[in-house]
Structure 1
């Protein structure tokens, strides 16, 4: 069975972006970038892969899930951020007509979609954001990989934006980098 991994950058105060889905405070340089290029290359946008002369092998992930706001955050650059992956965008107000060809927009229950995807053949499923979708899928997340950045944002979308519902995870690895980023990996307890 395939696994769902929530792999995301986060601030020390649990924000996955600043107000208005502004990601500019998160560092894009530092020694943690080598790990991303080596271990999480599938999560790089298509334009970044092309600029770096790299190709995604889809060994870690072949599918990416995101909420509409996460998808729309990249509209200044593209409407097809991960052309090397199957892209599924969840929205209650947007339709397929609002997205690029090859990007699936659905208002279907995210839990039902994830359970169906987990039964398919393939590599992993990447939940890339946002916090509302993550909260809806919290019981389906098999792995949580956080790139914890040494900054406090104060405002912005939360890592999990849902009602109070404690869930215990088991730390499987923590890797600090000279950049100040600490990558923590957790599994369902």
Structure 2
């Protein structure tokens, strides 16, 4: 079965972007030892124009063949005239307000995201990349199998969080970590089983009681 991976950049305090959606504050941490890892291991997560600019336009998809976005994330590209930001992937945008797709290569749907992802997981292919944003990530949290967090060593205090969702602890296991020159890290987490989620509060209570 295909996996749903939330691959995203974030600050130490858990924000993926500034309140206005900007993320220029990440730029100082994109160093020479970091970009080869991003371009080499995750080439499909670079936008189509970006791939051309850095010389990886023909790089094969390694992990993902489908990308999911919310309206807010997609609008960031539209604002600069980019109607098909990931033309090398199947692109699905979830929106209840965007009546039609601005580009034939982009599928816009108002369907329940959980239903769509469960159907996608049954199809053949590579993994499914959740690109953002916070609202969509919150809705899809029950189906997220893996988190790959590009964590940058900066605290911003406010902004767009990793998830917008109700309080419901879900356990993940750290399976890999990569540390780079300026202190940014790529952290990979695998989703634990639902039974582990259910046991987690009891285990914490027992620790506190001890």
Q: TM-score, normalised by structure 2?
A: 0.86
1:112 and 2:97 are equivalent in the alignment:
no
Alignment partners' CA distance in 2, 1:149 and 1:111: 29
Paired residue for 1:91?
A: 95
Paired residue for 1:74?
A: 77
Q: Deviations over 1:70-124 (max 9, x none)?
A: 1111221511100000000111111224x22210111100000001111111101
Alignment partners' CA distance in 2, 1:182 and 1:95: 39
Paired residue for 2:17?
A: 17
Among 19, 32, 47, the alignment partner of 1:45 is 47
- Distance apart, 1:175 and its partner CA: 1.3
- Distance apart, 1:20 and its partner CA: 1.5
- Distance apart, 1:154 and its partner CA: 1.7
What runs of 5+ residues in structure 1 fail to find an aligned partner? none
Please state whether the residue corresponding to 2:72 is helix, strand or coil.
helix
Q: Deviations over 1:26-54 (max 9, x none)?
A: 12621221110110001000001111221
Between Structure 1 and Structure 2, which shows a larger proportion of helix residues? 2
Task: Check whether the contact 2:100–2:108 (CA below 8 A) recurs between aligned residues.
Answer: yes
1:127 and 2:130 are equivalent in the alignment:
yes
- Distance apart, 1:180 and its partner CA: 1.5
The 4+ residue runs of structure 1 with deviation greater than 3 A are none
Higher radius of gyration, 1 or 2 = 2
Task: Check whether the contact 1:65–1:88 (CA below 8 A) recurs between aligned residues.
Answer: yes
Task: Check whether the contact 2:92–2:107 (CA below 8 A) recurs between aligned residues.
Answer: yes
Alignment partners' CA distance in 2, 1:94 and 1:5: 25
What runs of 5+ residues in structure 2 fail to find an aligned partner? 193-210
Q: TM-score, normalised by structure 1?
A: 0.95
- Aligned Cα RMSD in Å? 1.2
Please state whether the residue corresponding to 2:61 is helix, strand or coil.
coil
Task: Check whether the contact 2:12–2:154 (CA below 8 A) recurs between aligned residues.
Answer: yes
Aligned residues: 188
| Most deviating of 161-170 and 29-38 | 29-38
